[in-house]
A and B are shown apart, each in its own frame.
Chain A
Amino acid sequence: MKHPARWIAGGVALVVVVLGVILAVNVGSDAESGVQNSPLQNKAAPAFDLPTLAGARVTDADLQGKWTVINFWNTWCVPCQQELPELKKFVKAHAGDDTVQTIGIVRDPQEPASVIRKYADATGMNWTIALDPGSKAALDFATRGQPESFLVAPNGEVLVYFYGPVTASVLDRALAAAGGPTS
């Protein structure tokens, strides 16, 4: 074969160009942005059946007919503490509206229910708080950490996934965009 070096050089150049185009296209985008997508997007919320602090149970059947914000949190996570005032603001703004509910799920609880109840009472978390023993719901919702939140439509479909702490305005905007009630 004449000029094998040239053929090999040409082949390598081709591969390099292809690779380069791919890398160049990716350089602009942020690697982290992929995390914003949840595989649950536009699918029915997974089934769950959890005990609440009030002593009752909450299941996915309770999602039907209402706009629900599901918020995964726990007592020892600092960003959860930082988003707490925002959650309270959101709940207060929709306090009169029967069609909007908030369910908090304690992800990976390290302390007994009584301690969590005391914490929730002390910080004014006046919405349904459920416990997730064994982290089953956390796994079913494909959460990676906390805080993470989901906006669920009245038909039980997961509409929006929030990775990290949320604010009241972010939740309101998502709710309005989905066709839900404004505060």
Chain B
Amino acid sequence: MRKWWAWIALGVVVVVALAIVVWPHGEQSAAARAHNLETQLKCPECEGLSVADSNAPTSLAIRADIKKRIRQGQNDDVIRQAYVDRYGEQILLQPQGSGISLLVWVLPVVVLVVGAFGIGFVLARNRRAPMLHASEADEQLVERAREQQQ
């Protein structure tokens, strides 16, 4: 049991740290909300940069618009939908919604799960297989080597 103390104590430390991180601490500030939304919208005139990362005029305009909308009390989904209505689905940097968009989220998880099961299956099957037994010749070889060492 003594051997386990170190690990139990470590577990406690880790859980405490994670708890502090995950503990809900009030509403996200407006600035944090704005920044979050900005990372999710693509700058329309750039090559793949988010509105948060780009300082193109359109990005600046969108950032100001987002802040205005937050002040007006619109929630995140409403703001995102407004931009999708305007610019089309391309404006979102991660596919949302149903249909084919789900594929991009689901496929990697499927790959990982199938892979993990495959490995688990292989390991379990090997465990059930009998261990290799040494043959007579092998045992004699080992004996001879041991004698040589003395």
Give residues in A with beta carbon < 8 Å to B. Answer: 37, 39-40, 46, 107-108, 134-136, 138-140, 142-145
Cβ contact within 8 Å between B86 and A142: yes
B73 to chain A, nearest CB (A): 18
Could you give 16 example pairs across A and B, Cβ below 8 Å? A39-B85, A39-B86, A39-B88, A134-B61, A135-B64, A138-B61, A139-B58, A139-B61, A139-B62, A139-B65, A140-B86, A142-B87, A143-B44, A143-B58, A144-B58, A145-B58
A39-B85, A145-B45 are known; give 17 further A-B pairs, CB within 8 A: A39-B86, A46-B86, A108-B57, A108-B58, A108-B61, A135-B60, A135-B61, A135-B65, A138-B58, A138-B61, A139-B61, A139-B65, A139-B86, A140-B86, A142-B44, A143-B58, A144-B58
For the A-B complex, the count of residue pairs with Cβ-Cβ distances under 8 Å equals 42
B16-61 interface with A by 8 A CB criterion: 44-45, 57-58, 60-61
Q: Shortest CB–CB separation between residue A102 and chain B, in angstroms?
A: 23
A107–B57 CA distance with the chains assembled, in angstroms = 9
Which residues of the partner chain A approach B57 to less than 8 Å between Cβ atoms? 107-108, 135
Give Cα A135–Cα B61 distance, bound, in whole angstroms. 6
Name the one of B45, B58, B62, B87 contacting A39, with C-beta atoms under 8 angstroms: B87
Note all chain B residues with C-beta closer than 8 A to A107.
57
Nearest-neighbor residue (CB-CB) of A37 within chain B: B88
Contacts of B65 in A (CB 8 A): 134-136, 139
Cβ contact within 8 Å between B58 and A135: yes
Closest to A136 in B: B65
Report the bound CA distance from A144 to B65 in whole Å. 15
A143 and B91 CA atoms in complex are apart in Å by: 12
10 shortest interchain CB distances as A-B pairs? A135-B61, A144-B44, A108-B57, A39-B88, A144-B45, A145-B45, A142-B86, A142-B87, A139-B61, A139-B65
